[in-house]
Amino acid sequence: MKRRSFLGKTLIGSLATLIVPKALSASNKPNFSEVIKNEKGPISICTWNFVKANAAAGKALESDLDALSSAIKAAEVEELNDKNTTVGYGGAPDREGNVTLDACVMDHKGDCGSVVAVQNIVHVAALARDVMEKTPHVMLAAEGAESFAKSLGYKQTNLLTEESKESWLEWSKNSKYKPIINIENHDTIGVLCMDKKGNIAGACSTSGLSYKMKGRVGDSSIIGSGLYVDNEIGGAVATGMGEEIIKTVGSFLIVELMRQGYSPQDACDEAIQRIIRKQGEHVDFQVAYIALDKQGRVGSSSIHKGFTYMKYQNGENKNIEVNNFINS
C-alpha cells in the first residue's frame, strides 16, 4: 500500500485542528457574488469514462455557464443514456424490478439539494437543484419528490428499458447479490466544475447498486458522502460502494483534508486508505474519489484497478487512469 508520507500529514492535520478559526465579521464574510478571474480557464471533471457528459459540461463552462448549471448538464447526458445501466433511464432496477434514482447537487454558496428513491423521472440532478432552489428543504424522498417533480412539469418516463428488464429477469433466476463495481459495470456520474469566475459546484446522479434491496439509498444523495463542495477550498465526489462512502463521509473528509493543507491527490488517497484500514486489505468492493481544489488542481484515487475519470480543460477532454491501492 502506498503511504505517501502519511505520518507527516497526520501531524500537520493534528496541528491544524488546534487552530481555532476567527469568527467571521460582516467585513470578512465571503462575498459570493465577487468576480474572481479563473486564470487557468474553466475545468470540468467527472467520474468514469463519460466522455460526452464531461464535454457537455466543459463546453457549457467555456460558453460562460456557471459551475452548477454546467455540472447538471453533464449529469443529464448520462441520465438520458439508455446504455448506461447505473444512471437514469435504463438504470438497473432494485431486486423487485423498480428503477429508483438518487441525486444531489451543491453550489458555490454552500447550498445543496437532494432527491432519493425517485421513480419515473429522468433528470433527477435537475430535480435536486429544484429542491435546493424552490423549497425550504434540502432533501425530498420517493413519492414526495415525484409529486414535486410533477408540480414543476417534469415528464413521467418509465425508466425500465426492455434491455434492463431482460437483464433483471435473468439475474432473478439466481438472485445472487454481489455488486461488483468497475469499468465494465461503473456506477454514479459525479461531476465537479469550476467556472470562469473560479466558482466550484458539483452534481451526482445514480440508479444505485444493481438489484439493491427495495428502499436502499447509497451515497449519491447524501451531501458530504457522495458530494461536497466548499468554494473556499474545493470539492470532491465519490463513486462505488455507497455504504462504505457513507460510513467515512468521504467527500466531506476530502474537502476538510484539503482545508488542512493536503493536495487533492493526497486527500483522495487518505480517504481511500481510511476505508481500507477499516476493512483490512481484502476489500472486494470498489470505491473511488475525484477532487478539485480552488487552484484548479485535481486528485483521484481508488481501491481497485479499473477506475478512470474525465478532465476537460482548454478544449481538451481527457480520460485519465487512476492509481489504485489494492492489486487483486
Give yes or no for residue 81 binding ligand GLY (CB under 6 A): no
Give yes or no for residue 300 binding ligand GLY (CB under 6 A): no
221 neighbors 204 (Cβ within 8 angstroms): yes
Give yes or no for residue 62 binding ligand GLY (CB under 6 A): no
254 neighbors 267 (Cβ within 8 angstroms): yes
Give yes or no for residue 209 binding ligand GLY (CB under 6 A): yes
Q: Which residue is nearest to ligand GLY (CB)?
A: 218
**Near ligand GLY by CB under 6 A: residue from 242, 250, 264, 306:** 242
Q: Cβ 207 to ligand GLY, closest distance in Å?
A: 8
Using CB under 6 A, which of the segments 2-10, 16-24, 65-73, 205-213 binds ligand GLY? 205-213
**Near ligand GLY by CB under 6 A: residue from 187, 195, 256, 293:** 187
C-alpha to C-alpha distance for 70 and 44, rounded to whole angstroms: 8
Give yes or no for residue 269 binding ligand GLY (CB under 6 A): no
Out of 47, 85, 86, 188, the active site residue is 188
Q: Cβ 102 to ligand GLY, closest distance in Å?
A: 6
| Nearest to 119, CA basis, from 102, 105, 135 | 102
Name the helix (H) or strand (E) containing 189: strand 189-194
C-alpha to C-alpha distance for 323 and 235, rounded to whole angstroms: 19
**Near ligand GLY by CB under 6 A: residue from 42, 91, 218, 296:** 218
Give yes or no for residue 233 binding ligand GLY (CB under 6 A): no
80 neighbors 66 (Cβ within 8 angstroms): no
> Would residue 188 show up in a list of annotated catalytic residues for this protein?
yes
Task: Tell me whether residue 116 or residue 122 sits nearer to ligand GLY (CB atom).
Answer: 116
Task: Tell me whether residue 87 or residue 122 sits nearer to ligand GLY (CB atom).
Answer: 87
C-alpha to C-alpha distance for 306 and 83, rounded to whole angstroms: 19
Task: Tell me whether residue 4 or residue 216 sits nearer to ligand GLY (CB atom).
Answer: 216
| Nearest to 245, CA basis, from 184, 194, 192, 301 | 301
For every residue of 28-58, which 3-state class applies, written as one string?
HCCCCCCCCCCCCCCEEEEECCCHHHHHHHH
Helix, strand, coil percentages in the chain from 3-state DSSP, rounded to 5 = 35, 25, 45
**Near ligand GLY by CB under 6 A: residue from 44, 47, 164, 188:** 188
Residues that bind ligand GLY (CB under 6 A): 187-188, 206, 208-209, 218-220, 239-242
The residues annotated as belonging to the active site are 188
